[in-house]
Amino acid sequence: MISEKDTALINRFKFYLKAERGLSEVSISCYLDDLYQFINWVEMTLFDVTHSDITAYMSDLYDLGLEASSMARKRSALKSFFDFLLENEYPTQVDFDKIPSIKLNHHIPDVLSIDEMFQLLDNIDTESDLGVRNRAITELMYATGVRISEMLNLKTSDLMFNEELIRVIGKGNKQRIIPINETAMEWVEFYQKSARLQLKKNEETNILFLNYNGHKMSRMGFWKVLQKLALQSGIMKTISPHTIRHSFATHLLESGANLRIVQELLGHSSIRTTQIYTHVDMRFIQEEHALYHPGNKRFSPKK
């Protein structure tokens, strides 16, 4: 919750951007979106923020795979705000000279744009049982941001589609619940009712995604599948299962989702180990996911 004092301060900053900097409404909106995203992450009044808090925030963005250009924009927006405080003699503990600059050529895992992600998904041939499985897997991974190990270990009992959720077991055997969108659910349900029955043959297994022998897929097996899908879709970037996970996080963050929510969805622990996080309500997580995930309500087998 943003305090009244911070709200008044942000309104003065907005007026400053328009009257003194002469920025367009679109640019002002981008500045404020980046500022609000930081406020939701830091969970303290703006006057109490230090350069260490901003450095930790930028580190979390980097850890989630946000593109350097987007990180540089967010840093610039925050610098403009705290420069505004200094120029107008508001009290602030932020010294931007102590906050590392963003190198635009630094290496981060490849991230697909939203158009490239849809291109990958929409070019999967679903005429075969393996094709339906591949579409269901890729839709689920992009909808949820799960790790490849979490996807491979999913069981049919982990699907909580009545609540639009799935259950995964992450690192350290920690369980978390993740929202899943309608499109991904419908592809997984279509796979379960058709392709999975054929792939399962006479095997008795509760593993969700199966290989052509009716057994659990291997990491290398899916990696090869993904390379083939990328080639068939005409995407020239190097793609791995982690690319989909990073794309999931990046698309949510660039659409304005709360960083803490994205961390919760990914099963990340913040690098700020001295801070105890408050509990995040699942309904709020679902609302954030539904609001900001680009893949919601796309083409599905039922449409």
Residues serving a catalytic function are: 147, 171, 242, 245, 268, 277
Tell me if residue 88 falls in helix, strand or coil.
coil
Token pair, residue 24, equals 């367009």
Tell me if residue 199 falls in helix, strand or coil.
helix
d(CA 70, CA 67): 5
CB 104 within 8 A of CB 167: no
Tell me if residue 234 falls in helix, strand or coil.
coil
In this structure, the number of other CB atoms found within 10 A of the CB of residue 139 comes to 25
Beta bridge partner(s), residue 203:
none
User: In sequence order, what DSSP letters do the residues of 252-269 get, joined into one string?
Assistant: HHHTT--HHHHHHHHTPP
Dihedral (CA of 7, 11, 17, 20) sign: negative
Tell me if residue 166 falls in helix, strand or coil.
strand
